[in-house]
Amino acid sequence: MRSEQSYVAELYTRLDVKRAQLKGDFKAALRGNGGTPMERDVEVRAIAKEVRRVDIADNGLCFGRLDTVSGEHSYIGRIGLFDEENDYIPVLLDWRAPASRAFYVATAATPENMRRRRQFHTRGRQIVDFTDEVLGRPGGGERGDAALLAAVNAPRGGEMRDIVATIQAEQDEIIRLDHPGILVIEGGPGTGKTVVALHRVAYLLYTQRERMERQGVLVIGPNPAFLHHIGRVLPSLGESAVVFMTTGDIVPGLRVTAQDAPEAARLKGSLRMVDVLAAAVADRQRLPEQPLPIRLGDVTARIDAETAEWAREEARASGLPHNEARAVFSEIVTWVLTERAIARIGRGWLTPEDRKAWEHLRAELRRELADDDAFTAALDELWPILTPEALLAALYTSPERLRAAGADETLLRADGDAWTVSDVPLIDELIDLLGRDKAADRAAELAAERERKAEAEYAASVLGSLTERPDMMDDEDHLLAQDLLYAEDLADRFVEHDTRELVERAAADRDWAYRHIVVDEAQELSEMDWRALMRRCPGRSFTVVGDLAQRRSVAGATSWDAMLAPYAAGRWVYRSLSVNYRTPAEIMNVAAALLAEFAPGVQPPESVRACGVQPWSRQVTEDELAAAIEEFARDEAGREGTSVVIGPPGVPGTVTASETKGLEFDAVLVVEPERILADGPRGAADLYVALTRATQRLGVLHQGPLPPALTGLAEAGTPAHQAG
């Protein structure tokens, strides 16, 4: 123990030296060695990012050691450290490095030329204990069971923890898989598919750092609670170039406030909506029922149906989005009107030889049309500038427009712009169909220019205040790295370039192209959701995580191939996880009985442990229900860890199963499972999710008869229940 502690202490000394060097580099970069403000800013950000990686590595810097059969030692940790005085020999291997792989995959049967795996248990910078696993001979375990079981039995906090010290062989194989396309990871509850996907991102950022960090990674999760739960995993591994969103967030500025009925969600999620939306746009490209008079000079020209139809055909044939094709439509109509007006105005006083006069008259008439309110109003009637939100809201509130677009009247609703999560990919589709409004873009550019000027004036005032108050800069060492800014560059930085971090810029930019996308709970995504995500990753580099047996969305996946083949035929691979690291065998047995009823062909994951506590049930009356929930909450408040009460919609003091997807709790109370089962076509999947959130204790309260699949639960008050 003493020698190991001494080695780890030396590693921390090296880490502290590296940190001090980086902070020195940071200050030097702030002062600048030539170059533009933008170049200096890039250098400052890069060093600051490395400082953050070093700071994060402080927690659990070294967590293991590998011994080869020849007696050589390798230490494994969160980052790599080198002996810079001895040809940069590694003194600590990054867990993602190829040489670290044996730490995760070596077993008694396949020792990978290793004799022993040692796993450290640390507190701060101190080694508290370690566990040895002898490899390659009888008696050696096939997994690092002691360390693994300690991790899975530990009380849960509010956020997911990384598993960098306890990655298992089947997980490591997926994390390091060299596949440039789409990787689907399927696994039942508790198999660690989410955390494996996140560690795969960390691995890709390690092996492809320049490309990955330049474009960033997008992680899609089912709800904000889930994103909060997983949000610290990648930062704890030193990675920050990651944007977290739900599918409802992918269009910046759009706010989801409503929820669709199942049939509406199913229709909106179908790829058939691509044709519906295209038809809805085409329906707004109209022909006049009566010729529209436009006064030009002393004559009146008319936009008739024949002219508008020619202009419409040319505009559509241009292949431009609707708003951009308006220029083609306008050009055709303008040509027809001016030529008709010229023929009448010039008759009698202009000869065919007066070419200059004809061109002058033509230019005058075109300018007159461009400024004519009646002509603009006619264009707005026949080929209006449209926004995605306005078009979709008008479609939803009009039976006539729904029929014209070939849409089902199930989509009809009173409040057109009460957006649901199923509307988001439709609005995203319309952004491409409609294109930009050039006038609005120009107005936005002018507004941005005014804002830049205001920021420059503010920067100048800050510079002036720093000059007048030099005492503010005296204690430089106490300023946070991210707050340090070399004063003379302040104003220039505001004006010259976007100073936001990649994550901020990507999240605010609907057109951002990510290098890699992770999709969790992917079975819930509709065809239209996938279409929207594919736009955001032209390279089709995805890690897809899900479990078809847990699907609750009527628009979700019933087959991975059906969802992915249209975009990456032959470029997606499938891997499965079969070991349940979260749910103890006692609870998984209950959930497996339910799974056998609603998905008889699906094999439940095998639990790696038992907890010794039997799940229980208790029948209560309506009057007793609230008190029973309070009793559970009171009991759990006195224990270490987390707990949750899951019930059907509308039961006070509970959350729904869909709100807990991807989350885990030490204790779970499921309320009225009979109502959860009856709530919609995917009620059984919801109940399955609810039953498999617990890592230690599970209780069930029911008013009506207990569903047959749950009759194996111990009744409250029995010895089995009291063991909890």
- The alpha carbon of 586 is separated from its chain's Cα centroid by a whole number of angstroms, namely 34
Question: Domains of the chain: which residue ranges?
Answer: 1-164, 182-263+504-579, 271-434, 585-715
Rounded Cα–Cα distance for residues 287 and 280 (Å): 15
Summarised one tens digit per residue, pLDDT across range 571-582 is 999 999 988 888
Rounded Cα–Cα distance for residues 448 and 455 (Å): 10
Does the annotation flag 191 for ligand binding? yes
Rounded Cα–Cα distance for residues 15 and 10 (Å): 9
Does the annotation flag 190 for ligand binding? yes
Does the annotation flag 699 for ligand binding? no
Does the annotation flag 656 for ligand binding? no
Q: What's the start-to-end Cα distance of the chain, in Å?
A: 36
Mutual angle of helices 262-269 and 272-283, in 10-degree steps = 80
Q: Would 182-263+504-579 and 585-715 be classified into the same CATH topology?
A: yes
Rounded Cα–Cα distance for residues 132 and 118 (Å): 5
3-state secondary structure of 599: coil
Burial class (CB in 10 A: 0-12, 13-18, 19+), 695: buried
Does the annotation flag 188 for ligand binding? yes
C-alpha distances in Å from residue 608, one per residue of 5, 134, 695, 721: 31, 20, 12, 22
* Mean of all residue pLDDT scores within the chain: 85
Q: 585-715: what CATH class?
A: alpha beta
Does the annotation flag 193 for ligand binding? yes
Second-level CATH architecture of 182-263+504-579: 3-Layer(aba) Sandwich (3.40)
pLDDT for 484? 37
Between 433 and 452, residue with greater pLDDT: 433
Q: Would you place residue 711 in the very low, low, confident or very high pLDDT band (cuts 50, 70, 90)?
A: confident
Q: Would you place residue 497 in the very low, low, confident or very high pLDDT band (cuts 50, 70, 90)?
A: low
Residue 502 backbone phi and psi in degrees, to 5:
-55, -45
- Conformational region of residue 94, where left means phi above 0, alpha means psi within -120 to 50, and beta covers everything else: beta
pTM for this prediction? 0.79
pLDDT for 177? 94
pLDDT for 647? 96
Summarised one tens digit per residue, pLDDT across range 594-632 is 999 988 988 999 998 888 999 999 999 999 999 999 999
pLDDT for 157? 55
Q: Would you place residue 143 in the very low, low, confident or very high pLDDT band (cuts 50, 70, 90)?
A: very low
Q: Which sign, positive or negative, has the C-alpha torsion 548, 687, 601, 264? A: negative
Summarised one tens digit per residue, pLDDT across range 200-257 is 998 998 899 888 888 999 999 999 988 988 888 887 777 888 999 999 999 999 999 9
Rounded Cα–Cα distance for residues 300 and 99 (Å): 83
